Copies of this chain bind each other. A is one copy, B any other.
Amino acid sequence: MEQSKVSALPRVVIIGGGFGGVSAARALKNAPVRITLVDRRNHHLFQPLLYQVATAALTPSEIARPIRRILRHQQNVEVILDEATAIETARNRVILAEGEVAFDYLIVATGATHSYFGHEKWERDAPGLKTIEDAIEIRRRFLVAYEAAEREPDSSVVPEWLTFAIVGAGPTGVELAGALAEISRMVLARDFRRINTRRARIVLLEGAPRVLPAMAPESSDSARRQLECLGVEVITSAMVTAIDEFGVTYAGGHIPARTVIWAAGVAASPIGKTLGVPLDRAGRVIVNDDLSVPGAPNVFIIGDLASIKQSDGRPVPGLAPAAVQMGRHVARNIVHATRGEPREPFRYVDKGTLATIGRGAAVAEMGKLRLGGFIAWLAWLLIHIFYLIGFRNRILVLAEWAWVYLRNESGSRLITGDVEPLLERSRRDDEDRHRVMAQ
């Protein structure tokens, strides 16, 4: 009896365990549905703090948590580790790497990845930052760069190892630049004997005329000043034309840098293409006002994959709060649908935008309010601690931060994986270059 009742419940499939997917699942906690959440990773990631893993301030486990652990008490959810490769709306099926899964309602929350705007070969020399693996790779590169500088016999090459170029001055680029400047000047200084890590050059390149182009001009000015106080060189209106293992070339100059990080472009998850509906220029699905896919009212798109406008005509931004709001909204509309009630259109509530720059440095916009410096940073800190609720290691993260803040000491500067290939590569590159120069 119980069994047949359960299997008669509508099946909601959620693809993606990020902010949107997990919010939707939680909001359906008491709904008369069976939920299957599919993700190709086993963990939910607190992405706003990913740059702190990339700069060795936090460890991967402090900002990531198994999805099935987050949802363990919610009996109407099962979690499957698999990769969704396509959506067949006509058959109500999601195609997985292993088999397929049928749905009555589908929520697609697969987010975005970084994009090199057609220059995919730049990825080798300028990794982007979207996953825990990306963060570990960036951490490895920047820590190995100091090690390589310390043992570099050719003193003319040392400055190249100690130059870090970041392409793109959106929130991620700004956060990375500020954090790298701080760790170089404060945390690492006493660890090395031959090099002076305070001399490290952090260069932030932005194609637009100002940093944080999505924020107000006052915020951009404030952020730039705060970055420069930390010793970051900011170059705006700099369109990058080439990236290789020796640095970044832009219209107007060249930065010799052995470490380049890509924080410039974002492209929507490719699964959107399999829906066969119109996409916007960034590859996002242009959704109806209830977040459903045109022609497939039981399929919803939320988070960074959804292209939808606010009432004032501006697009809903690709931020965690927007994904959370969308997840909850779609959950509500699914409940409406199961009851035969009409659906509600989605309205984004903008609670403000924050970008942190460093210790005590940030910019914030809340409504008409513009904040900069320590107060903005305090707002950033409180909001991030608040949203880490649900992460049981919130207190540990806070302890980490307090320690780093008070002692200028960072605890997780692990280089894992093999460092030799990287050092090896640099040596081979040098040989190549010398050969080229000798020609």
Question: Which of A's residues lie within 8 Å of B, judged by CB?
Answer: 40-43, 59-62, 64-66, 68-69, 72-73, 77-83, 97-99, 132-133, 136, 143-144, 147, 150-151, 153, 190-194, 392-393, 396, 399-400, 403, 409, 411-417, 419-420, 423-424, 427
User: A38's closest neighbor in chain B, by CB?
Assistant: B151
A150 touching B80 in the complex, CB below 8 Å, given contacts A66-B191, A191-B66, A409-B392:
yes
Contacts of A423 in B (CB 8 A): 81, 97-98
Report the copy number of this chain in the oligomer: 2
> Is the beta-carbon distance between A42 and B151 smaller than 8 angstroms?
no
Contacts of A41 in B (CB 8 A): 415, 419
Could you tell me the distance between the alpha carbons of A167 and B424 in the complex, rounded to whole angstroms? 35
5 more A-B residue pairs beyond the given contacts A41-B419, A61-B411, A393-B411, with a C-beta to C-beta distance below 8 A: A66-B191, A68-B191, A79-B193, A132-B414, A392-B409
Contacts of A413 in B (CB 8 A): 42, 66, 69
Pick from B43, B60, B416: contact of A133, CB under 8 Å: B416
Q: Which of A97, A132, A144, A151 has the most CB of B within 10 A?
A: A151
> Is the beta-carbon distance between B83 and A415 smaller than 8 angstroms?
no
> Is the beta-carbon distance between B66 and A193 smaller than 8 angstroms?
no
> Is the beta-carbon distance between B78 and A420 smaller than 8 angstroms?
no
A143 touching B42 in the complex, CB below 8 Å, given contacts A61-B412, A82-B151, A132-B416:
yes
A420 touching B80 in the complex, CB below 8 Å, given contacts A72-B190, A413-B66, A414-B43:
no
Could you tell me the distance between the alpha carbons of A60 and B59 in the complex, rounded to whole angstroms? 8
